[in-house]
Amino acid sequence: MTRLLSDVAPTAPAPLPVRPRSRGRFVLGLFAILASAGIALVTVTDPYAGATAAPFYQQPVLVKATGVQRYKIAGGYVDIDISRDGYKVVDAPAPAPAPKTAAGGAAAASASASAASYTTPVGTAQTYAAKAVASRGWAPSEFSCLVNLWNRESGWNTHAANPSGAYGIPQALPGSKMATAGPDWQNSYQTQINWGLGYIAGSYGSPCGAWAHSNAYNWY
């Protein structure tokens, strides 16, 4: 038998099955929330609080960085003008001439040789000696004794030299003793006579005393 479509009652669609929610997913979500809250609390509170077991433990001091320090120096300043002094170019001084040692030495040697070659006349030396004897207060006879004494010793020659080292009119031994009367003792009859009269006065008292000693011992 044939059924008409109108005779067939429409049927409602079958409902989709509904899966019941699992408790495990809810528990996991709740745990995640609690863990996040715990991490946030750790960052806010002191992480070392309650964790110090040793009594000597010291909590580190957290130093806060300070800002950059700036200093300002107050004061005036002075402008300094730096310049270089001027200069002048001059010629180098000419070298000093070398001392004429050779010529000077030759001239001195020549003068010394001339003085040594010149012999004072006996009369000139005796005239000076006569005045020197009188200035000491001695009698004229003392001068006569002096003439005889130095005639024997040197002949009144200013350059008379003896191999023993005696030198000059009074025959001083050595001749350099007469340097006490003057530096020109080698050529000056005045220096030699002055020294000789001083020696005679000190050793024999007078020229006649020296002459007597020379006659007795052949020296004075």
Domain contains 159: yes
Q: Is residue 88 part of a domain?
A: no
Q: What is the pLDDT of residues 190-208, one digit of tens each?
A: 999 999 999 999 999 999 9
The pLDDT score that the predictor gives to residue 35 is 72
Amino acid at 73: I
Domain that holds residue 141: 122-217
Q: Is residue 48 part of a domain?
A: no
Asked whether residue 35 is domain-assigned, the answer is no
Return contacts of 198-201, CB within 8 angstroms, 24+ apart. Answer: 199/170, 199/172, 200/146, 200/170, 201/136
Cα–Cα distance list, 193 to 39, 62, 198 (Å):
135, 115, 9
In a domain? residue 187: yes
Number of structural domains in the chain: 1
Q: What is the C-alpha to C-alpha distance for residues 87 and 176, in angstroms, rounded to an integer? A: 60
In a domain, 16, yes or no: no
Model confidence pLDDT, tens digit, residues 23-72? 666 666 776 777 776 665 555 555 555 545 555 556 666 666 556 566 56
Q: Is residue 59 part of a domain?
A: no
